[in-house]
Chain A
Amino acid sequence: MSGMFVEVAPPTLPAPIVAPAAAGGRGRTARRLTRRLGRGVVPYLYLTPALGMLIVWTYRPLVETANYSFYSWNLSPTQPATPVGWHNYHRLFTLPELGDSVWRTVLMIVGLLPFTIVIPVVVGLLAREVRGRARSVYQALIFAPFLVAPVASAAVWQWLLSPRVGAVNRASGTSVNWFHEQWPALIAITGVTGWHVLGFAVLVVAAGLASINGDYAEAASVDGASRWQITRWLTLPLLSPTLVFLLMTTVLLFAPQWTFPLIDSLTQGGPVNATTNVYYLLWEYGFQSFDAGLASAAGVVFFLGFGLVAAVLLWISDRVTVHDD
């Protein structure tokens, strides 16, 4: 029955373990043992490719980043790294850039919340009664920006927001130099990212609303609850798991990660660092200043920081969300 599992087992099956059993003179036991060992190895064999890649390209570098953070090194293969203890962390926390980049990341998160939570919820509530073909056409349109390659979107928005010839400034009669003034640049980067991810949030909220059991609302309306009361006290609480999920993606994924290609191709973190968020700062330390130690120290700090934020958000989602069971 399980003979085939032995075939899949590697030829390097630990022989010493099998040998003593065989020496015991009980061939059947030995064979059974081999079979059991073989079968025990099987799931690990299936796991090996994915796990191996995960270790080599995700967890090994994490450990090495922690290690680099105690050295001074300029990434050059010929230049040896010299140990400097906690010096990199000391530098990191005395440089103003760290605090500034965290602050700008927070601003980006706040700026994204209308796109990832407010508009999707409002639209979702207003459009609950649109069904059928029309609905899927609208949703197809709204979701499309999510699929646009980040650099392509950088290109089209650079064109739309171009100071003298761009459609936005000419249509609205303003002359804002969007990517070269500090606040407009931050607003533009946040807005373009928001445009990217809005469709995703709208669909997630719509799916969340669709999954809420209509019986509660019906019961409440029989009891004389108004439409607003039902929305406020029933629909929104039941939607809270979806909203916490969206908050989490905004904080951990959209604000730090999705902004990166836009920043890199539109502002390079400028003007005067106005659009340098935490991950762009890491990139600058590593590949513009070639300061591997400082970049690694910052990497470790941000990794721990985001881990902490994720833990807090998970805790909140456990506490706050109302489950529809």
Chain B
Amino acid sequence: MTLATDPPVTEPSATGPSATGPSATGPSATGGAPVTNFDAPVIAGGRSRTRVVVGHLTLALLGLACVFPIYWLYATSLRRPGDIYELSPLPWPLSLDSYRTAFDEVDVARLLLNTTVVATLTALGQLLTSLLAAYAFAAWSFPGKRLLYLAFVASWLVPFQVSMLPNYVLLHQLGLLNTLSGVIIPNVVSGLGVLLLRQHLDSFPKELLEAARMDGRSSWSTLWTVVVPNLRAALAALGILLLVNAWNEYFWPAMVLQRDNSVLQLGIRSFMSATEGNDWGPLTATAGLACLPIFVIYLVLQRHVVSGFVRSGLR
């Protein structure tokens, strides 16, 4: 569907009837248009001027409403401590005092490092296991294939809250409670990753796999020298999606790291109290820092991030 992000080799098959499988009854059915382009068909009556203006207004207002809280977060964090309660839309004069306080009270650098390690390793682990599993599903037929695939599809019906107690007990037995490994290890499988990569691999030209086999390459070397290089764009989009999810994960770290707020999402909590009188400056500064890496990725790779998430929804 996102032709621009797909490698050239998958293009011919992307227009084929089975490109996105039987579930392509949704918006992805007709493929073609990149998700972020949205060349909606011209509906009867053509593009009257008023309609275009109304469209611009609607989108602009909604966009501003959506972004305002994010803007306010950063605006507050950049005000001088004495100006925190100002309502002026522009924080002026700027000050980094809130960030300084945040760094003094919480080891923000360590939290950032921990969160980066956890999110990166989780996403890479998920990407690797998903790739191997999707390759198995796409390149072979074997007994139990449908059932095993169903096991991946159905995994999203088992929420964390249902499996948390036995997993907590197992982590305790393994001695992994309150460790970063305890946050990473149970998460290195992603049903969504398997599903999405399998769809990509199913539209992968079988002739290429066959040709590699004729050349006498092992399945392992075919995977890394033929499949992966042609799947780079899809892997990147999925990788970003998994990274964002892992970065923003809250439930599992909150459970495993109960005694130690050693990732950012939990670090923010230490500035929050149920009663009023929070230290709003450092709180917004930490929260702003927690979102910053994701926003940087978003600014640089906007199209890929959006298409990664929307695609995942369009299966």
* Residues in A lying within 8 Å of B, measured CB to CB: 1, 4-5, 7-8, 40, 42-47, 49-51, 53-54, 56-62, 64-65, 68, 75, 77, 119, 123, 126-131, 134-160, 162-165, 167, 170-171, 195, 198-200, 202-204, 206-215, 217-218, 220-221, 225, 227, 230, 235, 241-242, 245, 249, 252, 256-257, 260-261, 264-265, 268, 279, 282-283, 286-287, 292, 295-296, 299-300, 302-303, 306-307, 310, 321, 323-324
Nearest CB of chain A from residue B251's CB, rounded to whole Å: 6
Instruction: Decide: B133 and A46 in contact? CB cutoff 8 A.
Output: yes
Segment touching A, from B3-11, B38-46, B228-236: B38-46
Nearest CB of chain B from residue A236's CB, rounded to whole Å: 13
Query: In the docked arrangement, what's the CA distance between A145 and B303, Å?
Result: 16
Instruction: Decide: B218 and A4 in contact? CB cutoff 8 A.
Output: yes
Query: In the docked arrangement, what's the CA distance between A220 and B148, Å?
Result: 46
Instruction: Decide: A58 and B155 in contact? CB cutoff 8 A.
Output: yes
Query: In the docked arrangement, what's the CA distance between A128 and B52, Å?
Result: 8
Which listed residue, B41, B42, B189, B217, touches A57 by the CB 8 Å rule?
A: B189
Instruction: Decide: B157 and A303 in contact? CB cutoff 8 A.
Output: yes
Nearest CB of chain A from residue B72's CB, rounded to whole Å: 6
How many residue pairs link A and B with beta carbons under 8 A? The number is 367
| Given contacts A59-B151, A158-B278, A303 and B132 within 8 Å (CB-CB) | no
Nearest CB of chain B from residue A60's CB, rounded to whole Å: 7
Instruction: Decide: A241 and B67 in contact? CB cutoff 8 A.
Output: no
Which listed residue, A127, A136, A167, A287, touches B55 by the CB 8 Å rule?
A: A127
- Total B residues in contact with A, Cβ cutoff 8 Å: 118
Report B-chain residues with C-beta under 8 Å of the C-beta of A268.
274
Chain A residue at smallest Cβ distance from B45? A227
Nearest CB of chain A from residue B247's CB, rounded to whole Å: 7
B250 at the interface (CB under 8 A from A): yes
Report B-chain residues with C-beta under 8 Å of the C-beta of A303.
157-159, 162
Known: A51-B148, A137-B63. 18 other contacts (CB 8 A): A7-B218, A58-B163, A65-B165, A126-B58, A128-B43, A129-B55, A135-B38, A156-B287, A159-B73, A165-B85, A200-B310, A206-B38, A207-B27, A209-B40, A210-B37, A241-B26, A283-B161, A299-B165
Report A-chain residues with C-beta under 8 Å of the C-beta of B18.
none
Most buried by B among A143, A213, A252: A143
Interface flags, B264-296, vs A, CB<8A=1, else 0: 111011011010101010011011101100110
B13 at the interface (CB under 8 A from A): no
Report A-chain residues with C-beta under 8 Å of the C-beta of B191.
54
Instruction: Decide: A142 and B155 in contact? CB cutoff 8 A.
Output: no
Nearest CB of chain B from residue A76's CB, rounded to whole Å: 11
| Given contacts A43-B142, A50-B133, A127-B55, A323 and B25 within 8 Å (CB-CB) | yes
Which listed residue, B39, B70, B254, touches A144 by the CB 8 Å rule?
A: B70
Nearest CB of chain A from residue B109's CB, rounded to whole Å: 18
Query: In the docked arrangement, what's the CA distance between A49 and B298, Å?
Result: 30
Instruction: Decide: B40 and A128 in contact? CB cutoff 8 A.
Output: yes
Interface flags, B1-36, vs A, CB<8A=1, else 0: 000000000000000000000000111111001011
Instruction: Decide: B136 and A279 in contact? CB cutoff 8 A.
Output: no
Query: In the docked arrangement, what's the CA distance between A170 and B84, Å?
Result: 14
Query: In the docked arrangement, what's the CA distance between A306 and B288, Å?
Result: 35
Query: In the docked arrangement, what's the CA distance between A4 and B136, Å?
Result: 16
Query: In the docked arrangement, what's the CA distance between A147 and B313, Å?
Result: 15
Report B-chain residues with C-beta under 8 Å of the C-beta of A299.
161-163, 165
